[in-house]
Amino acid sequence: MTIRLLHVEDDLDILEIALMSFEMAGGFDVMQCDNGPEALRQAPEFRPDVMVFDLMMPQMSGLQLLEAIRQVDGFADTPVIFMTARAQAHESRDMIERGARGVIVKPFDPLTLGDQVRALLAAS
Amino acid sequence: MELGLKHMRSALAALNAHAMVVTTNAAGRVTSVNDVFVRTTGHQRADVIGMTPGFYPGWDDAAQADMPVWTGDRQVVTDAGTSLWTKTTRIHQHDAHGQFAGMILIHADTSDQRTAETDRDAVASLHLLSEPVFIVAAGTHRVVFANAAAMTLFGWAPDALDSVDMASLDLACDRGAVTDQIARLEAGEIDQFAFDADYDGVSFRADMQVTQLPGQARRLYVILRNQTEVLAVSRAKDELVATVSHELRTPLTSIKGALGLIQSGAAGPLSDKARGLLDIAYRNADRLVLIVNDILDLEKLEAGHMDYDMQRHDLTATLQDAIAMTATYAARFDVAVNLRADTHPAWADFDTGRIHQVLLNLISNACKFSPRGTQIDVVLVSGGDRHRVSVVDRGAGIPADALDRVFDRFTQVGKSNRARGGGTGLGLSIVKAIVESHGGQVALESVEGQGTSVSFTLSRRDAPVQAVSVLQMSGTRG
């Protein structure tokens, strides 16, 4: 089954590498946005199964985006995974407590990124 | 004449009753001391008569010889070695020919007066301190003194201090832990302790100490240090380190990601030469990640902000995992890593992630310094109340004069290190800090030309309850 994945990340290079990683893994239909407000606009139409957010983004942080997307109809329970370099233990705990499904630490391994997302989705 | 002598005798008797009187001869040796001197100083006449007066610190009669009458403050040292402050009058005696014949020294003990003056000065100084200080009686915890800063902070009136009970203070702190510590303080188990407390929106570090002066009841001294600035600086530093770390990791994510994808063939087939060059680039990107991680870890350790998830684990299993995780790395250096454990399971309380970090650091260090084709032993010995893990290599060893700085930051011993894959020079500092945070110790032994052994200890623990029940069930089944 193809997983519809919305990836939000302000670094264009990382967007490109992640896209290649998901393509290589196979089984993902990926939409990418480089800012939170754009993601909020695109999400209702794309209807993702899972969302992967960067944490530190200029216009809207990943945590603000998480709060905002939860207010959108049909997104109360959509799994959100943070992919961030700021993943000290207390930061990761905070993200989970705020409703994230999991945290992928940057630098991520492009060869296993798809597997990591699948594993987090399976560990509900 | 007779009346005059009578008056003189009376005056001398009065003087002898209240003051210490010492006489010396022309050579400055003691010829007599009165009863008050003996009683007050504890010196026996036999010990001081005929001697130079050693009970006067810095005694220098020559310096005062041209002053027939001198009055001033002089210390007298008692037989017990304590000093008494005295108001002293020294009078030169002359013989019938007008020659200097000796001295009379009359001392009035002013120690109590000086002590009172010193106490007044100390109290005045305490009131000038900007940090709140207060003193409570042990047992009752009633306030017996508070400096001006403490009275202002808590709104205490100077004449109503003795009605204030320390327990009534609205300090936001871990009251249970503080009460326990105070009990230990009063039982003499500890001399002092410190705790964090908030009052009226301000964070303080409170230091509490017990003191007892001779003949007085025991008291608890409390000093409150405002932590607002300290905490703000610490938060700013944490934020800076986290931000810098993030800013460095973001481009590294792209670099490592791109290299990893090319290595995997995602961009097409590679020649052997290109693959070799990519491997070098990838390894060095990894090194940069390690450097960033090490710096971040060390900052966290120094600030005491490292998170530990302490659980009971089998140390032997953690050693096996760590060896498996370093297998590829060891193969690069053509060395074999062996586990030699005398105990299995070896229970201890630790954070597996952090102890993995310690082991990976020690094993990768050993790999870098091992000659090709040699063995590295990871040895677990459990004895007494401790487990000791040693990582032993057969490398070049460390020169004796460098041994005492191997745990310092940014220390790298040996020229071959960087050439063989390098490190940050932070690894052993981090190992030491993590192990010490677990209550263990790190030790390093090395002989040049023979090898190095780095070991650390963890406290032995019993099997966790769950594991015990599993073992018992296994036993029952036979």
Question: Residue B429 — very low, low, confident or very high, per pLDDT cuts 50/70/90?
Answer: confident
Q: Are residues B6 and B76 in the same domain?
A: yes
Domain boundaries, chain A: 3-122
Contact A107 B289 (CB under 8 A): yes
Q: Are residues B7 and B59 in the same domain?
A: yes
Residue B85, pLDDT > 70, answer yes
Domain range for B240: 230-303
Q: Are residues B428 and B367 in the same domain?
A: yes
Contact A14 B242 (CB under 8 A): no
CA distance B331 to chain A (A): 21
Residue B4, pLDDT > 70, answer no
Q: What is the pLDDT of residue B66?
A: 66
Residue B477 lies in a domain: no
Q: Are residues B105 and B125 in the same domain?
A: no
Residue B296, pLDDT > 70, answer yes
Q: What is the pLDDT of residue B9?
A: 64
Residue ranges of B 68-127 with Cβ closer than 8 A to chain A: none
Which residue's entry shows tokens 């530990």?
B308
Q: Are residues B148 and B210 in the same domain?
A: yes
Question: Residue B472 — very low, low, confident or very high, per pLDDT cuts 50/70/90?
Answer: very low
Residue B465 lies in a domain: no
Tokens standing for residue A49: 């199964």
Q: What whole-number distance in Å separates Cα of residue A64 and Cα of residue B166?
A: 45
Q: Are residues B257 and B386 in the same domain?
A: no
Q: Are A49 and A29 in contact (CB under 8 A)?
A: no
Q: What is the pLDDT of residue B401?
A: 79
Q: Are residues B254 and B337 in the same domain?
A: no
Q: What whole-number distance in Å separates Cα of residue B247 and Cα of residue B398?
A: 36
Tally the domains of chain B. 4
Q: What whole-number distance in Å separates Cα of residue B13 and Cα of residue B169?
A: 58
Which residue's entry shows tokens 């998480």?
A66
Q: Are B377 and B340 in contact (CB under 8 A)?
A: yes
Contact A107 B249 (CB under 8 A): yes
Question: Which residues are within 8 A (CB) of B445 and not within 5 positions of it... i.e. 6 or more apart?
Answer: B452, B453, B455
Q: What whole-number distance in Å separates Cα of residue A114 and Cα of residue A19?
A: 10
Q: What whole-number distance in Å separates Cα of residue A1 and Cα of residue A19?
A: 18
Q: What is the pLDDT of residue B474?
A: 37
Q: What whole-number distance in Å separates Cα of residue B446 and Cα of residue B452?
A: 4
Pick from B208, B226, B244: which residue ends a domain?
Answer: B226
Q: What whole-number distance in Å separates Cα of residue B216 and Cα of residue B239?
A: 50
B307-351 confidence digits (pLDDT tens): 788 899 999 999 999 999 889 889 989 999 999 998 788 999 999
B245, B250, B260 ranked by CB distance to A111: nearest: B260
Residue B442: which H helix or E strand, with range? strand B442-447
Contact A90 B307 (CB under 8 A): yes
CA distance to B100, B350, B459, per residue, from B439 (Å): 73, 10, 8
Q: What is the pLDDT of residue B459?
A: 94
Residue B276, pLDDT > 50, answer yes
Residue B323 lies in a domain: yes
Residues of B in contact with A20 (CB under 8 A): 261, 266
B233 touches chain A (CB under 8 A): no
Contact A85 B260 (CB under 8 A): no
Question: Which residues are within 8 A (CB) of A58 and not within 5 positions of it... i.e. 6 or more apart?
Answer: A10, A35
Residues of B in contact with A90 (CB under 8 A): 307
Residue B268 lies in a domain: yes
Residue B1, pLDDT > 50, answer no
Preferred mutation among B243, B254, B354 to probe A, highest tally of A CBs within 10 A: B254
B386 touches chain A (CB under 8 A): no
* A&B contacts, CB < 8 Å: 62
Q: Are residues B222 and B234 in the same domain?
A: no
Residue B168 lies in a domain: yes
Intra-chain end-to-end CA distance of chain B, in Å: 118
Contact B245 A56 (CB under 8 A): no
What angle do helix axes B228-263 and B272-303 make, rounded to 10 degrees? 170
Contact B249 A85 (CB under 8 A): yes
Cis before B251? omega within 30:
no
Q: Are residues B436 and B355 in the same domain?
A: yes
Residue A97, pLDDT > 50, answer yes
Please report, as a single letter, which amino acid is at residue B210.
V
Q: Are strands A28-33 and A3-8 parallel, antiparallel or unpaired?
A: parallel
B97-118 confidence digits (pLDDT tens): 888 888 888 888 887 777 778 7
Lowest mean per-residue pLDDT among A79-93, B162-176, B405-419: B405-419
Q: What DSSP character marks residue B165?
A: B
Overall average pLDDT of the B41-47 stretch: 90
What CATH code is assigned to A3-122?
3.40.50.2300
Q: What is the pLDDT of residue B419?
A: 45
B466 touches chain A (CB under 8 A): no
CA B104 to chain centre: 52
Q: What is the pLDDT of residue B416?
A: 45
Q: What whole-number distance in Å separates Cα of residue A53 and Cα of residue A34?
A: 10
Which residues of A lie closer than 8 Å to B, measured between beta carbons?
11, 13-14, 17-18, 20-21, 24, 56, 84-86, 88-90, 106-111
Q: Are B224 and B131 in contact (CB under 8 A)?
A: yes
CA distance B371 to chain A (A): 31
Tokens standing for residue A99: 């409703």
Pick from B205, B226, B247: which residue ends a domain?
Answer: B226
Q: What DSSP character marks residue B407?
A: T
Q: What is the pTM of this model?
A: 0.53
Residue A67: which H helix or E strand, with range? helix A62-70
CA distance B443 to chain A (A): 28
CA distance B259 to chain A (A): 9
B264 touches chain A (CB under 8 A): yes
Residue B470 lies in a domain: no
Neighbours of B298 (CB within 10 A): 19
Q: What is the pLDDT of residue A55?
A: 93
Give the 3-state secondary structure of residue B263: helix
Residues of A in contact with B296 (CB under 8 A): 88
CATH number, residue B9? 3.30.450.20
B250, B300, B309 ranked by CB distance to A11: nearest: B250
Tokens standing for residue B447: 């002989």
CATH number, residue B359? 3.30.565.10
Contact B261 A21 (CB under 8 A): yes
Q: Are B101 and B23 in contact (CB under 8 A)?
A: no
Q: Are residues B439 and B396 in the same domain?
A: yes
CA distance A73 to chain B (A): 32
Task: List for chain A the helix, strand, coil content (%; round to 5).
Answer: 45, 20, 35
Contact B250 A85 (CB under 8 A): yes
Residue B395 lies in a domain: yes
Pick from B82, B109, B136: which residue ends a domain?
Answer: B109
